[in-house]
Homo-oligomer: A and B are copies of this chain.
Amino acid sequence: MSTTTTDPNTPTRDPYPTRTVTHTTHIERREPVVWPGTTGGPLLDDELRTYDRNGFLTFDRLIEPDEVVGLRAELDRMCADPRIRADERTVGEPDSDAVRSIFEIHRISDVMAELVADPRLVDRARQILGTEVYIHQSRANLKPGFDGSGFYWHSDFETWHAEDGMPAMRAVSISIALTDNYVHNGALMIMPGSHRTFVACPGETPDGHYRTSLRRQQIGTPDPDTLTGFADRHGISVVTGAAGSATMFDSNCMHGSAENITPFPRANLFVVYNSVDNALTDPYAAPAPRPDFIASRETPLRG
């Protein structure tokens, strides 16, 4: 069972205690996956049911081929820009000087700013979350050919809750493929249905944890028994698709990706929309909040 340190000044008990526990616990999700509140929207009932059941939904072609070319060129430009490479928002590969991620792309690039405000993304996010939304995080994830490293299994919400103070599971990520995502070049792996269970992880968040965790996460990752149980119960879906395809997934999906040793780079844009009713508070289990470029505390995108 979980053990939490309760603060008498905190009026309500944390429903998702993590990194304050002595061993792994599983907590059933309290929130809906698809929220009521908005009427209309581009997602069909079938799609909403799939998202509710699996915790994710894929689109073969959310972005048109000519737009992909433009976004790809912009990302290449950004990766080559010495100022952006030197920016603290750029994270390198653990074993090389290649770019692994660039955060807050919508503030670095006008092209990216236009994309994250695009109704094809925003309207889908609003429909899932049932309110107006704002951008919690945006980033480009690059997995270069030959030695692009992976991301170990994790729930984004576990980190966002512990380190950023996100109260509830009311955020949705949209990942847009700028290159073809094959089974062999480090595609996203999701355990469908895993979003219904919160995995509280032992291990205290170290000070400045994000500086290492964005390269290789070690705190806030589930134990092997949990992953084995989840994989046996839910299976593992490998999400592939051509450039221009996209995946929406719930903040609490158990997901990860393996390294990419193929010559085919894998570059995705990743935008997290949070409900305006789910604004960040103080971190639930970290000495200090992470920087704004990782977890925005801005006002709603539109409302």
Q: Is the CB of B262 within 8 A of A261?
A: no
CB of A32 within 8 A of chain B? no
A150-B259, A258-B259, A258-B260 known; 9 new pairs, CB 8 Å cut-off, are A145-B227, A153-B261, A183-B184, A184-B236, A184-B258, A224-B263, A231-B262, A231-B263, A256-B261
C-alpha spacing A259/B153, complex, angstroms: 13
| 239-264 of chain A: CB within 8 A of chain B | 256, 258-264
CB of A189 within 8 A of chain B? yes
Q: Is the CB of B263 within 8 A of A261?
A: no
Q: Is the CB of A183 within 8 A of B238?
A: yes
C-alpha spacing A263/B189, complex, angstroms: 12
C-alpha spacing A238/B264, complex, angstroms: 14
Pick the 9 closest A-B CB pairs, nearest first.
A183-B183, A228-B263, A231-B263, A227-B263, A258-B258, A259-B259, A184-B238, A258-B259, A258-B261
Q: Which residues of A contact B (CB under 8 A)?
A: 145-146, 150, 152-153, 182-184, 186, 189, 224, 227-228, 230-232, 236, 238, 256, 258-264
C-alpha spacing A216/B260, complex, angstroms: 16
Partner of A146, one of B182, B184, B224, B264: B224
Chain B contacts for A184, CB-based, 8 A: 183, 189, 236, 238, 258
CB-CB nearest in chain B for A225: B263
Q: How far is the CB of A26 from chain B (nearest CB, A)?
A: 16
Chain B contacts for A146, CB-based, 8 A: 224, 227
Given A183-B238, A228-B145, A236-B184: A152 touches B261 (CB 8 Å cut-off): yes
Q: How far is the CB of A231 from chain B (nearest CB, A)?
A: 5
CB-CB nearest in chain B for A152: B261
Q: How far is the CB of A262 from chain B (nearest CB, A)?
A: 6
C-alpha spacing A152/B95, complex, angstroms: 15
Chain B contacts for A152, CB-based, 8 A: 261
Given A183-B238, A263-B231: A145 touches B224 (CB 8 Å cut-off): yes
C-alpha spacing A260/B227, complex, angstroms: 13
Chain B contacts for A224, CB-based, 8 A: 145-146, 263
Q: Of residues A145, A146, A262, which shows the largest number of chain B Cβ atoms within 10 Å of its Cβ?
A: A262
Q: How far is the CB of A226 from chain B (nearest CB, A)?
A: 9
CB-CB nearest in chain B for A260: B258
Chain B contacts for A227, CB-based, 8 A: 145-146, 263
Chain B contacts for A264, CB-based, 8 A: 231
CB-CB nearest in chain B for A231: B263
Chain B contacts for A231, CB-based, 8 A: 262-264
C-alpha spacing A258/B260, complex, angstroms: 7
13 residue pairs from A and B, CB less than 8 Å apart: A145-B224, A146-B224, A150-B261, A182-B236, A183-B184, A183-B238, A224-B263, A227-B263, A231-B264, A232-B263, A258-B258, A258-B260, A259-B259
